[in-house]
Structure 1
Amino acid sequence: MDLREFFKKEKNIRAGMWLARLTPRVLGYRVAEYAGNKIAESKPAVYQQLRENISYIPGANHEPGKLDELTRRAFINAAKYYYDFYHVIGKPSSKIIENVHIPQSLFDQIKQIQASGRGVLIAGIHLSNFDLGSLCLAALGLKVQGLSAASPNGGYQFQNEIRKKYGFYTTPINPQSLREAIHNLNNGKIVAGGLDWPQHDETELTEVFGKPAYVPLGTARLALLSNAVTIVIAFYKDSRPGYQLHYSEPMEVIRTGNKREDIKLNTRQYIAFFENIVSQYPDQWLMFHKFWAN
């Protein structure tokens, strides 16, 4: 079975949560190492796709065997992130906050923007434990409308229910939720969405690391329609305990008078941040779907 299909089923996610809650971290991480290594050995379709995506990151393919090693580590990391996420689900919000470290300066900047009457558009990158990180934002009191995959399957719907329990209000992308997002941004509220979830039917391709990619243009469109300030965020794991957050400076909307050019220029400034952080943590970028239009 394709692992991407496995996580689309609610019963599989429930089983993973049940096991993770019962398993101590030392054992959970050992199982994650084993699972990641087995995937790297068998090289299923999802492995090949992630390997292809990582290959576009500068430096990922400069040495013999480096690309395969990065891909292997990415699957081990993914398994650890899933364990950490499922291990705390159902526990008090304080347990989530203990595992994710978000600088107070981010909240200060958001409050400053909102005090001016502007909305804040948070563009998230699928790096490290982004699921746990988003729950932490809500657990710390941030009121957010999250935009998620359109027409969500059972697994996605269940995860949206989990987010809602912790205060992260998630709406699948459709005309109604987009109107709600624009209304919220126009009224000084916060909307969050994914920056790097590939859209294969997008009207324009965006260069990422010098190659055309299926970057969604929705973030730029929302910013232009609402005059919101955009902050790009990425969670990552380093030698410190828990997960860390890196975020961009607030990005003002770029306007030239040419709508098509405005969308491209605003998307480009978001992608510059994406390129920087993904280059630093290539084995933590968990994009299992085709990203580049090679």
Structure 2
Amino acid sequence: MKFSLQNLSNSRFAVNFTLWLGRTFPRKVSYQVGNFFAKIYSKRKNSAMVRSVRANQWVIRGEQSSSEELDQAVLDVFQHAGRCFADLYHAMHSPEKILSMFTPTDACLALIARSQKNENGAFLAAPHISNFDLALLALAYRGLQAQVLTYGQPTGGYEIQNDLRAATGMDIIPAREETHRNAIEHMRNGGMVITAVDRPIRHKAHTLTFFGHPSPLPTGHIRMALAAEVPVIPVAAQMSSDGRYHIEVGEPITMIPNDNPDEAIRINGEAVLKALEQLICVNPEQWLMYYPVWPTLMADREI
């Protein structure tokens, strides 16, 4: 396997090491270790991971940032990621610790109540913002009922993370054609499905406009929501200034059918992405996306 920061950070070794670190040392020590590695990673400007984060941050910050500002933005992203991992793995095996780090908003509590009634199905679409794993665990401990669709081909590190999520009782399902059919039926019966929707797909032919540029983003959530005739609800984790996490819940987006299936995907997909743009811009440094969301921009210019 070709070495890359993505492969390393998603590896079984990296996840196990971070789990050990979180269990063994106080959180403040874990923060310091995270900041140390963030500084090392952020200086590897020729790595695919750093180049991707740099380009992603350039776009969401208005395409006006200087080179020095982007250097700081990349460092901020990695430092926030380190903070999130430290918080998550320090509290992973303690529901009390998880809940103590999470602030439930009224909208969040309403979402949990809706999921328990099994009357109005919905698809929850999330970007990779902040500590979504910790927030998801807190939601599960508070009673959220939902299927969680995960990356269809998990690596060793992702498999460990999925096992930890499943230990809370959450229904963790790798995304593939069969599970998509099950998710559609689940939503038709009043259930909820949740997945992240901002990780680009390599070699994807069709694109969606995101922050004003074409991006090869997934559309499976739109296809499933259209088939189940349920709305898509944008949700995102955020870290507040006090270091606690909460979930932002957007307004439900009704899926609009169209005689042209491709046009239906585009119109509804871009409506959801427009809502996610607003959530991402609240704290740009908390958008933990390490893959090139706009690969053509990276190919056309040096950022």
- Scaled to the shorter chain, the TM-score interval is over 0.9
The correspondence for 2:189, drawn from 178, 187, 194, is 187
CA distance in 1, matches of 2:276, 2:88: 23
Which amino acid is 2:81 matched to? Answer: A
The correspondence for 1:80, drawn from 73, 78, 83, is 83
Counterpart of 1:147?
149
The correspondence for 1:266, drawn from 262, 265, 268, is 268
Are the aligned partners of 1:122 and 1:233 in contact in 2 as well (CA < 8 Å)?
yes
Which amino acid is 1:214 matched to? Answer: P
Deviations 1:223-282 (A, max 9, x none): 100011211111112312311221211111112333221111111111111111222221
Are the aligned partners of 1:78 and 1:286 in contact in 2 as well (CA < 8 Å)?
yes
Q: Secondary structure at the match of 1:241?
A: coil
Deviations 1:148-198 (A, max 9, x none): 111212211111110001122111111221111011011101111111011
Counterpart of 2:301?
none
User: Which residues in structure 2 correspond to 1:124-273 (within 5 Å)?
Assistant: 124-273=126-275
Q: Once superposed, which parts of structure 1, at least 4 consecutive aligned residues long, lie more than 6 Å away?
A: none
Q: Secondary structure at the match of 1:216?
A: coil
The correspondence for 1:35, drawn from 20, 34, 37, is 37
Q: TM-score, normalised by structure 1?
A: 0.93
Q: Secondary structure at the match of 2:267?
A: helix
CA-CA distance at 1:70 after TM superposition:
0.7
Counterpart of 2:300?
none
CA-CA distance at 1:94 after TM superposition:
2.1
Q: Secondary structure at the match of 2:90?
A: helix
Q: Aligned in 2, Cα 1:24/1:184: closer, same or farther, shift over 3 Å?
A: same
Are the aligned partners of 1:3 and 1:46 in contact in 2 as well (CA < 8 Å)?
yes
CA-CA distance at 1:109 after TM superposition:
4.6
Are the aligned partners of 1:60 and 1:66 in contact in 2 as well (CA < 8 Å)?
no
User: Which residues in structure 2 correspond to 1:41-52 (within 5 Å)?
Assistant: 41-43=43-45, 44-52=47-55
Counterpart of 2:61?
58
Q: TM-score, normalised by structure 2?
A: 0.90
> Which has the larger displacement, 150-159 or 179-188?
150-159
RMSD: 1.9
Stretches of structure 2 lacking an aligned partner (at least 5 in a row): 297-303
Stretches of structure 1 lacking an aligned partner (at least 5 in a row): none
> Which has the larger displacement, 112-121 or 239-248?
112-121
Q: Secondary structure at the match of 1:176?
A: helix
The correspondence for 1:118, drawn from 106, 120, 126, is 120
CA distance in 1, matches of 2:82, 2:21: 13
CA-CA distance at 1:64 after TM superposition:
5.1
CA distance in 1, matches of 2:111, 2:129: 22
Equivalent residue pairs, number: 293
Deviations 1:211-233 (A, max 9, x none): 11111111111110001121111
Q: Aligned in 2, Cα 1:110/1:237: closer, same or farther, shift over 3 Å?
A: closer
Q: Secondary structure at the match of 1:51?
A: helix
Are the aligned partners of 2:11 and 2:157 in contact in 1 as well (CA < 8 Å)?
yes
